[in-house]
Amino acid sequence: MPVLQGKLAIVTGAASGIGRAIALRFAREGARVAAFDIADTEGRAAVQEITDRGGQGVYFGCDVTKQDAVVQAFDHVHRQLGPIDILVNCAGIAHVGTVETTSEADFDRVFTVNVKGVYHCLQAGIAAMKGRGGAILNVGSVAANVGIADRFAYSMSKGAVLTMTLSVARDYVTAGIRCNSIAPARVHTPFVDGFLKSNYPGREQDMFEQLARTQPIGRMGEPDEIAALAVFLCSDDAAFITGSNYAVDGGFVSLKM
């Protein structure tokens, strides 16, 4: 039997990249997926792929930076699909820059999406899970654990995701709510392709290979590899795991320190 059979999962940032891979993988493992995003066309396409493959999914347009919108979306999910078992916080944005080159507007934008967005969903998710338990997974980054050049605001935000994970895990362990995080290194997503196209026109392949070589394993990760760990951590097979942060990084942290 699929390991998530009968579970209802909310996945934020489900329209592309890692979030999309998690939504698709969860559906393959039997979960009913509520896909949250602000990219309506891409989000609906992801859900269409789920249903085309025989899975169950519904798209909900939701801006995680707006608390009222998040509360409303969670309420819609509950009324339309039932009690929530799993929450995956994957919605996020990247930013390149040092403390000197990061403007206040840039800093606020990253904080609002990557930190407040997770806070809003954690608050709504905990309220929905209290009294019955559940599993929460926050998508962080290796940037929370090691210094990465030109990632000042992004690292700040992912450090906050890690510590929010630990706090929620501690506060709700006796309520049967587990909370973990995963810390990917570089993963080949549409963001990477867009970044290379914008910053290295004509040199995309060369720069892609250079970035891939920064990881000891010699390549970038694939979104579905991140999704595979997400399935395990949100399944009943991981019932004894909470308050943990898992590197999925091709050895980036442990083999380079």
For 91, counting Cβ atoms within 10 Å of its Cβ (0-12 exposed, 13-18 middle, 19+ buried), the class is buried
Confidence of residue 35 (pLDDT cuts 50, 70, 90): very high
Whether 50 and 23 have beta carbons less than 8 Å apart is answered as: yes
Whether 253 and 162 have beta carbons less than 8 Å apart is answered as: no
Residue type, 169: A
Residue 103 neighbours by CB under 8 Å, 6+ apart: none
- The three-class DSSP label of residue 134 is strand
- Sequence ranges of the domains in the chain: 8-188+222-248
pLDDT of residue 36 exceeding 70 = yes
pLDDT at site 177:
98
Each residue's pLDDT tens digit, 46-85: 999 999 999 999 999 999 999 999 999 999 999 999 999 9
**CA atoms of 51 and 140, how far apart (whole Å):** 28
**CA atoms of 172 and 174, how far apart (whole Å):** 5
**CA atoms of 141 and 221, how far apart (whole Å):** 13
Average pLDDT over residues 210-221: 91
Task: Report residue 195 CA to chain centroid gap.
Answer: 19
* Exposure b/e, 11-22, CB count within 10 A at least 16 = b: bbbbbbbbbbbb
Mean pLDDT of the chain: 96
Whether 35 and 61 have beta carbons less than 8 Å apart is answered as: no
Q: Which DSSP letter does residue 221 get? A: B
Residue type, 45: A
Confidence of residue 249 (pLDDT cuts 50, 70, 90): very high
Residue type, 65: T
Residue 221 neighbours by CB under 8 Å, 6+ apart: 184, 185, 186, 187, 188, 248, 249, 250
Which regions of 77-233 does DSSP assign to beta strands (E)?
86-89, 134-139, 177-184
Confidence of residue 149 (pLDDT cuts 50, 70, 90): very high
pTM: 0.95
CATH 3.40.50.720 fits 8-188+222-248, yes or no: yes
Confidence of residue 190 (pLDDT cuts 50, 70, 90): confident
Order the strands of the 56-61 sheet from edge to edge.
56-61, 32-37, 8-12, 86-89, 134-139, 177-184, 245-248
**Is 200 an active-site residue?**
no
**CA atoms of 32 and 139, how far apart (whole Å):** 20
pLDDT at site 88:
99
Each residue's pLDDT tens digit, 75-120: 999 999 999 999 999 999 999 999 999 999 999 999 999 999 999 9
Whether 118 and 164 have beta carbons less than 8 Å apart is answered as: yes
- Choice among 59, 119, 154, 172 that is catalytic: 154
Each residue's pLDDT tens digit, 161-189: 999 999 999 999 999 999 999 999 999 98
Confidence of residue 199 (pLDDT cuts 50, 70, 90): confident
How many other CB atoms sit within 10 Å of the CB of residue 45?
15
Run of H or E including 169: helix 152-171
